[in-house]
């Protein structure tokens, strides 16, 4: 099993749908992250979880709702999204959320298209 | 505030040429970490190197080498004898201690290596 996995790899949803993105890490890490990568902006950090506790919310709209049931799993629940939310959503993990002392390892991403 | 600038948006070379990707960073912190990631067309960000601010030694790993110069706030990446498989988007990133794992990414440099 590769280090960080994400499902689904591709997702198309309407603005009224509710869907969830899933991330799982097999590296024994304690910190997990959601990033958004869109064509017009650099990679943007969305959320940080350290030992299942959310430690960073980078002013993300409430239509994105993260969930971290344990240190190995991270979800991103989506509802009433906008077309501008279409992007590649990347999950990452690191041993700790210690500001660069631990390298972040990324999953393959979920390509989201909102119609 | 922290910032990473990758001035080269796209670079195209012919196989076996050497190529250098530039990265300039800004931070007022004295303790920080610099990273390079590779993003092939599949989307996954692949970790290449991490460097802390107190270690200015250049590093070589196979065909890859990195030149860290604090005097010019640069952390450049050179690929020697490039290959088609090196075609990808390369990101430079910065993290400071205590930032809860917040990686500040540059906009990336798209490298195309033609046979």
A41-87: pLDDT as tens digits: 889 999 999 888 888 888 899 999 999 999 999 999 999 999 999 99
The 10 Å Cβ neighbour count of residue B19 is 20
Residue range B29-84, pLDDT digits in tens: 988 999 999 999 988 999 999 999 998 888 899 999 999 999 999 999 999 999 99
Quick one: which of B76, B98, B46, B10 has its CA closest to A102?
A: B98
Count H helices and E strands in chain A, helices first.
0, 11
Cβ–Cβ under 8 Å, residues A110 and A24: no
CA distance B110 to chain A (A): 13
Q: How many residues does chain A have?
A: 115
Counted across chains A and B, CB pairs separated by less than 8 A come out at: 73
Report percent pLDDT > 70 for chain A: 96
Nearest beta carbon to residue A101 from set B37, B97, B106:
B97
Buried b (16+ CB within 10 A) or exposed e, B20-40: ebbbbbebeeeebbbbbbbbe
Q: What residue has token string 């590649």? A: A88
Q: Helix H segments across chain B?
A: none
């Amino acid at each position: 099993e590769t280090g960080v996995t994400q499902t689904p790899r591709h997702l198309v949803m309407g603005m009224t749908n509710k869907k969830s993105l899933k991330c799982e890490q097999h590296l024994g890490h304690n910190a997990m992250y959601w990033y958004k990568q869109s064509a017009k902006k650099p990679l943007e950090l969305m959320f940080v979880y350290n030992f299942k506790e959310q430690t960073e919310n980078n002013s993300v709209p409430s239509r994105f709702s993260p969930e971290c049931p344990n240190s190995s799993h991270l979800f991103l629940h989506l509802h009433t999204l906008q077309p501008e939310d279409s992007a590649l959503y990347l999950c990452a993990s690191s041993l700790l959320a210690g500001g660069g002392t631990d390298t972040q390892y990324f999953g393959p991403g979920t390509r989201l298209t909102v119609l | 505030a922290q910032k990473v600038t990758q001035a080269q948006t796209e670079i195209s070379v012919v196989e076996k040429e050497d190529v250098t990707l530039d990265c300039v960073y800004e931070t007022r912190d004295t303790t920080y970490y610099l990273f390079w990631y590779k993003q092939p067309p599949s989307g996954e960000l692949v970790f290449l190197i991490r460097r802390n601010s107190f270690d200015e030694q250049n590093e070589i790993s196979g065909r890859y080498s990195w030149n860290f110069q604090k005097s010019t706030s640069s952390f450049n990446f050179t690929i020697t004898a490039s290959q088609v498989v090196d075609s990808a988007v390369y990101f430079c990133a910065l993290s400071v201690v205590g930032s809860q794992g917040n990686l500040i990414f540059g906009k990336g440099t798209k490298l195309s290596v033609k046979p």
